[in-house]
């Protein structure tokens, strides 16, 4: 276990140095969600009835989800570049834990996305966002966002290993970015037509967004927290298994 952790830490340091040399990836990750937030709050916000006094507070959980969905595309991009450069074959010839290579990329994604989320939160605060939530509620929000990031990042590992082009490696994130738009992230699901409402209310983003929103507003979360965590853990478990199987097939 100590060797496995040491291998993962060494490779994590390598990946983080790559990110530090190109901080524009984090900036790019945060720019689009911030643009959405500015657009919806200052352009569309007056025409949207969210049932709350502060639309930026209503909107923020969905924007955080979009930030993460946008950021994980860089995980697939970095993995694709490593696969094409032949560095994976070099790692295979070294006495290191095989899965530590993947974990290094996954943890790099987690760090980069948390930085991007922090930037988006700071912008939201300057736009008037305030939260009455206590430390425990913020910790729970952080735990949900971390689990969600890990789940999407392990999904990103699959196209990163199997794509035949840079565009193909990153394109998987487009449906993930669009999914919050068909959820309660921007408007209450009650305002949607029947079939769209049914889909919105039974997809994972809605339960995750609603739970984060309730936590930030210091409101009771009820069973919503369990549902949100179940979605995150379930997707994470399936993604880890699928990514591991893909990695073993790709590098036997």
Q: Domains of the chain: which residue ranges? A: 2-250
14 pLDDT above the threshold of 90: no
Distance CA(22)–CA(19), nearest Å, equals 5
Best-predicted range by mean pLDDT (25-34, 35-44, 233-242): 233-242
Give the pLDDT of residue 2: 63
Higher pLDDT, 138 or 165: 138
Q: Given phi > 0 = left and psi -120 to 50 = alpha, else beta, which region is 218? A: left
Percent of the chain with pLDDT over 70: 89
Grade residue 1 by pLDDT with cuts at 50, 70 and 90.
Answer: low
**CB–CB of 200/76 below 8 Å?**
no
Grade residue 178 by pLDDT with cuts at 50, 70 and 90.
Answer: confident
pTM score: 0.89
Grade residue 31 by pLDDT with cuts at 50, 70 and 90.
Answer: confident
List the structure tokens of 169: 């490696």
Give the pLDDT of residue 51: 67
Mean pLDDT of the chain: 85
């Amino acid at each position: 276990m100590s060797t496995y952790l040491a291998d993962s830490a060494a490779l994590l340091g390598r990946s983080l140095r790559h990110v530090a040399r190109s901080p524009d990836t984090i900036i790019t990750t945060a720019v689009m969600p911030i643009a959405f937030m500015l657009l919806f709050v200052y352009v569309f916000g007056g025409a949207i009835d969210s049932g709350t006094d502060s639309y930026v507070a209503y909107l923020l959980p969905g924007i955080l989800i979009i930030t993460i969905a946008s950021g994980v595309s860089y995980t697939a991009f970095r993995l694709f570049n490593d696969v094409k450069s032949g560095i994976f074959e070099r790692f295979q010839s070294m006495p290191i834990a095989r899965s530590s290579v993947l974990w290094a990329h996954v943890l790099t994604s987690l760090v980069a996305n948390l930085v991007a989320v922090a930037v988006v939160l700071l912008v939201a605060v300057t736009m008037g966002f305030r939260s009455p939530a206590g430390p425990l509620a913020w910790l729970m929000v952080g735990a949900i966002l971390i689990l969600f990031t890990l789940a999407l990042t392990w999904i990103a590992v699959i196209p990163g290993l199997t794509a035949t082009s840079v565009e193909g490696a990153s394109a998987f994130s487009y449906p993930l970015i669009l999914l919050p738009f068909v959820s309660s992230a921007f408007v209450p699901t009650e305002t949607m037509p029947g079939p769209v409402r049914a889909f919105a209310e039974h997809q994972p983003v809605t339960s995750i967004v609603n739970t984060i929103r309730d936590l930030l507003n210091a409101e009771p979360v009820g069973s919503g927290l369990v549902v949100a965590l179940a979605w995150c853990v379930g997707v994470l478990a399936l993604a880890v298994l699928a990514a591991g199987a893909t990695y073993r097939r790709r590098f036997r």
